[in-house]
């Protein structure tokens, strides 16, 4: 048997994965550009989720998904920080407590992330009561798109805007040009009119 036929194991070391987190952070930390990272909520499929005992039951998210179905709108993220799991952390996501790693500058935050091998990013977005409130329409999906491009011909004041309608985001055919980074299917929810909603994720690299 040739040496080239032997099986060996390889891994992506922490330094590579931390670097991917840093690249993502560096590309998206400025959130008033004409492209970037945004929350998206959508109504999901026209027929809704499968009904079990009279209740819509959301299916598990699929690794093959590339778009959310029937977006209601988009909102720029409000917070992005490097994090590590820590029982004393203040952010609770996915049943895990996370501690933020931050510096006074972007460069300091990146430096500390390297020192602590942080390959996780905490991302948060908020919807106020009057944002993307479409009455009786329910949303069934929420997620984060990166590299979304704003139609600057329709939104010349994009730098001071944080909420965008589907028609104000660039797409090729039926699909938005951005990348669906993470998403989840949820039980149908209506946008509240008396309090704001906070959406949060931890992205692992």
Kindly report, residue by residue over 65-90, the tens digit of the pLDDT: 999 999 999 999 999 999 999 999 99
What is residue 20's three-state secondary structure? Answer: helix
What is residue 48's three-state secondary structure? Answer: coil
DSSP-derived letter for residue 16 is H
Number of domains in the chain: 1
Give the pair of three-digit tokens for residue 45.
Answer: 């499929």
pLDDT of residue 17: 95
10 domain residue, yes or no: no
Residue 173 gets the label, from left (phi > 0), alpha (psi -120 to 50) or beta, of: left
Which of 60, 55, 65 has the alpha carbon at shortest distance from 145? 65
pLDDT of residue 90: 95
- Arithmetic mean of pLDDT over the chain: 94
121 domain residue, yes or no: yes
Which residues lie across from 42 on neighbouring strands? 71, 141
**Residues 139-148: b if buried by 16+ CB within 10 A, e if exposed:** bbbbbbbbeb
3 domain residue, yes or no: no
* Residue 181 domain boundaries: 34-204
Residue 7: C-alpha distances to residues 3, 10, 13, 68 (Å): 9, 10, 19, 39
Q: Would the pLDDT of 5 be above 80?
A: no
Confidence of residue 2 (pLDDT cuts 50, 70, 90): low
Q: Would the pLDDT of 39 be above 70?
A: yes
13 domain residue, yes or no: no
pLDDT of residue 38: 98
Q: Would the pLDDT of 1 be above 60?
A: no
């Amino acid at each position: 048997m040739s040496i080239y036929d032997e099986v060996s194991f390889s891994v992506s070391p922490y330094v590579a994965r931390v670097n991917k987190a840093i690249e993502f952070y560096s590309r998206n930390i400025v959130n008033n550009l004409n492209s970037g990272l945004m929350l998206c909520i959508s109504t999901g499929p026209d027929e809704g989720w499968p009904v079990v005992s009279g209740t819509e039951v959301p299916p598990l998210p699929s690794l093959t998904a590339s778009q959310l179905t029937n977006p209601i709108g988009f909102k720029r993220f409000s917070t992005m920080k490097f994090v590590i799991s820590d029982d004393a952390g203040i952010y609770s996501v996915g049943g895990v407590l996370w501690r933020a790693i931050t510096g006074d500058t972007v460069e300091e935050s990146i430096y500390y992330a390297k020192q602590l091998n942080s390959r996780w990013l905490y991302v948060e977005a908020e919807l106020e009561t009057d944002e993307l409130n479409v009455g009786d329409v329910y949303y069934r999906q929420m997620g984060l798109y990166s590299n979304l491009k704003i139609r600057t011909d329709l939104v010349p004041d994009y730098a001071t805007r944080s909420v965008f309608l589907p028609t104000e985001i660039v797409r090729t055919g039926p699909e938005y040009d951005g990348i669906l980074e993470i998403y989840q299917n949820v039980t149908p929810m209506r946008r509240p009119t008396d309090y704001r909603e906070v959406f949060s994720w931890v992205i692992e690299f």
